[in-house]
Structures are given as structure tokens and as C-alpha cells.
Amino acid sequence: MRRVCLTLPTNRPCLPALRALLAEAAHGAKEFGVEVAVLVLDSSPAPVVAEHAAALAADPAAPGVRVHHYDEDAQRAFLARVLARAGLADRDGLLDRLLPDAVSYGACTDRAFLFAEALGCASVHRRDSDSRYQLLDGAPVFPIDQELAAVGRPAAAVADRIGAGRLARLGPRAAELPVALAGASFIGELSVDVAEILELDPAVHAELVGLSLPPTVPPPWRPQAVKEAFRGAGTAPFTTDRPVLGQVAPNRVDMCNVALDREVYARVPLPTATETIGTDYFLLHVLHHAGLPGVLHNRHIVNFHTGERRTGPGRTAYHLRLAKFLLLTGSLNAVFTTLAETDLLTPDGRLRPERIATAVRTAPAPDPARLTTITDAYHRLGPAWSPLTDTLTTHHDRLLARAATDLTDFAALLDTWPTLTAAARQEPL
């Protein structure tokens, strides 16, 4: 029986999200005849982990659903076994990067990929704790319906079901390749919490958000691109399915609403940069530039923001992550430019991680002037933002060094990743 991994990494209380995840898993197992491994990677404080464990244990697993809940100790033990089996040098360094002490959106998803390999899964379907499902006539609108109908299946077969869409643009061999990605976006609050900045100073908002855009966006289009950035699918609720098969643009998919075929994540990981939002979207850019077939659907998830990121230390921590993302984006945009000019596929349509590693290694170092621009922009927001600007100023050199190390570490992880995933697939759980 085909087994898939429905995963939710979390570091906060999220009982409603866990219950909804179990409901989606039960629905997927029933409707598609698959086994769904629900994987909760829990980095929450111990009392919250215990609360989550009790809730998951109290909810009997539906037919075809198996629940796997791991705290950080269990995750560390699993990673140590995988690293030992892989026989790689610098095991301690790799372990620290895959399970860092700080927040890393890429590392938590990389761990999910390795666990999915150990569980023998054909695909990973990722959700987030700060989102929920839309309702249609009182019933949840589960993305897994579109995901299981597409991911891993030959693109030609999916085209027969939903129409060819833009498949012809991907080249003559695209029809024979498996669908690598199925994803949608979100409705609700902005994916990046910059609404307060827009309200305080639209010019600062435009400057900061502008730094997230690729340089290929021409000047006349940039104001509109800034206006649309991080807004997802807007506010219109779901009424009917409208999937499209073809090349999926990275800005049309949110990482709380995505499924990836194992041929993708078994070959290429995500950057493990700490205290940095947005780097977990790297694979979406890879798939876009590789020209692999994907399905863009419209079962958008409802996004919301937890309150701690809008007050005091929580706001400072969140915007430090945003600032580091904007700093790294300058280098990552250069990576994406290189990927667009590189043949990323083997003759049989598989990703070439070594070419992606080369693109990362040859990217320019993070730009000090870019960090100064970010700091100056935040400074214009006024005294309430001084904890952030003081930190950016005081740790200017350290932030630059850390961002450069993030790129170096990622290139090294790309080198070792196929060996790691092969070892994970042999590691029993």
C-alpha cells in the first residue's frame, strides 16, 4: 500500500491544528486507499509536548492512519543513528545544523524529509500550526485531495484528469515525468507579518518588501509586486476546484500547503539557516527552474498570526528573522539566476544536487550595504523599534558572518544529502 507522510512541525501549543491534521489524514486514507503517516515533530516546551502527546493518544487513529509524535530528544536520537549509518564526517556539525538550538524553518522540514524516508513514504505533505482549513458547506476543504490525486503520478495521467494546462511549455519529456509538486497558497493574514509596517510607514514597507523581490522584476512593475507580496490568494473563499498542471511559480505556493514527491526531497534538502524566515521555500524555486511538472490548486489554507510576534521581544525576534531573510535574499536571488541557466535534470528527469550545490557555492557573499539599508529602514519606524535596530547595529558583522556560514553549510548539506536520505530509508522506526 502506498504510504504518505502528512507532517506538522511545531514549537508552540497547537491542539486545534493537530486535531484538524488527524481529520485530514483520516479523509486522505479513506478517499484514496493510502496509509497516512501523521508526523508531528515537536520542539515545544516539555509541558506542551506532553499536552500534545496526550491529545494525540486520546484521539483513536482512523483506519489507515498511524501517528508518529517525536520530541526533540527523540528527533536527536534518530538523526544520530542516521548519521552513524551514513558514515559521514562531521557528524556533530551535521546534527547541529539539522537540529539547531535556534528556530530554523528549513531544518525542521529537512528532519521531516528524513523521517518520511525512514517511514517508507512516497511523498511529504506539509502543514503549519498557525493555519487552519477553509470550510465549504460546513466541511473542511482539505488540500490532500488534490495532492494525492497528483503527486508522484505521471504528468500525462494527471493531464487526462484535469487538462494539460501549461504542460506543453515544460518540454517534450514532461508528460512522462511524475508530478513533483502540488501546492496552493493561503487566504487570511499576510504570510509575512508586515502589516504593522505598512500602517506606520508605507515607504518603509515598500523598501523592505522590495528587497524580497528578484532583480528581474522591472522598475515599472515593482510597486504592484510590492503591493501583492505576501498576500497569498487574497480573501476569496473556496467554492470549487480549479487545479492547473504545468510549471508552478514559487510565489503562488505557501509552505503550509504543499506536497512534494520523494524524488525531490530525497535528492535536495532545504537550507538550514537559523533565525531566518522564508528559506524553506528554496525547493519551490528549484522545481520551477528545473521545469518539473507540478499542480497548482486552489484549496487555500487560512493563515493567521499568533500574538507573540506583534509585541515586545516576540516582535523583535520575528523581525530579526525577516531582516536576516532579506539579507540572504540578495545571495539566494543570485543562486536562482544561476539555476535558471543550468540544466538541473539527469536524462531520466531527476534533480542534480551537485549542480545546485555549485550554484550555492558560487553565489556572492551577503552584502553589508544591504544590511545597512535594512537597518536604516527599520530605524525610520521610530523609537518603538529601537530594540530591533539596536540589535541589527550591534551585531552587524556577526549577522553578515552568520549569513555567509548559512550558505557554506547549505552547500555542504547538498553534497551529503543523498547519502543521508539513503541511510534514513534503512533506519527502522
List the helix and strand counts (H, then E) for the chain. Answer: 17, 13
**pTM beyond 0.75:** yes
Q: Are 292 and 281 in contact (CB under 8 A)?
A: no
Instruction: From 12, 10, 77, select the one nearest 40 (Cα to Cα).
Output: 10
Based on C-alpha coordinates, what's the Rg of the chain?
21
| CA contacts within 13 A on the Cβ side of 416 | 25
- The rounded mean pLDDT for the chain is 93
What are residue 246's phi and psi, to 5 degrees?
A: 160, -150
pLDDT in tens, 109-140: 999 999 999 999 999 999 999 889 999 999 99
Per-residue pLDDT of the chain (429 residues; tens, 9 = 90+): 999 999 999 999 999 999 999 999 999 999 999 999 999 999 999 999 999 999 999 888 799 999 999 999 999 999 999 999 999 989 999 999 999 999 999 999 999 999 999 999 999 999 999 889 999 999 999 999 999 999 999 999 999 888 877 777 777 788 889 999 999 999 987 757 788 898 899 999 999 999 999 888 888 899 898 888 888 888 889 999 999 999 999 999 999 999 999 999 999 999 999 999 999 999 999 999 999 999 999 999 998 766 555 566 888 988 999 999 999 999 999 999 999 999 999 999 999 999 999 999 999 999 999 999 999 999 999 999 999 999 999 999 999 999 999 999 999 999 999 999 999 999 988
Q: What angle do CA 335, 350, 279 make, to 5 degrees?
A: 35
Instruction: From 330, 278, 315, select the one nearest 391 (Cα to Cα).
Output: 315
**How does DSSP assign 72-85, residue by residue?**
HHHHHHHHHHHHHH
Instruction: From 177, 175, 151, select the one nearest 165 (Cα to Cα).
Output: 175
Q: Where are the alpha helices (DSSP H) in 272-346?
A: 282-290, 312-340
Coil, helix or strand at residue 425: helix
Cell of 134: 477553509
Instruction: From 270, 387, 402, 226, select the one nearest 327 (Cα to Cα).
Output: 402
pLDDT in tens, 155-166: 999 998 888 777
What are the CB-based long-range contacts (under 8 Å, 24+) for 356-362?
356/268, 356/286, 356/414, 357/411, 357/414, 357/415, 359/335, 360/335, 360/407, 360/410, 360/411, 360/414, 361/407, 361/408, 361/411, 362/338
Specify the length of the chain in residues. 429
Q: Where are the alpha helices (DSSP H) in 119-168?
A: 144-148, 155-162
CA distance 279 to 352: 20
Widest CA span in the chain = 59
Instruction: From 62, 56, 68, select the one nearest 121 (Cα to Cα).
Output: 68
Supply the pLDDT for residue 235: 86
CA distance 369 to 381: 19
Supply the pLDDT for residue 282: 97
Supply the pLDDT for residue 195: 82
Coil, helix or strand at residue 273: coil
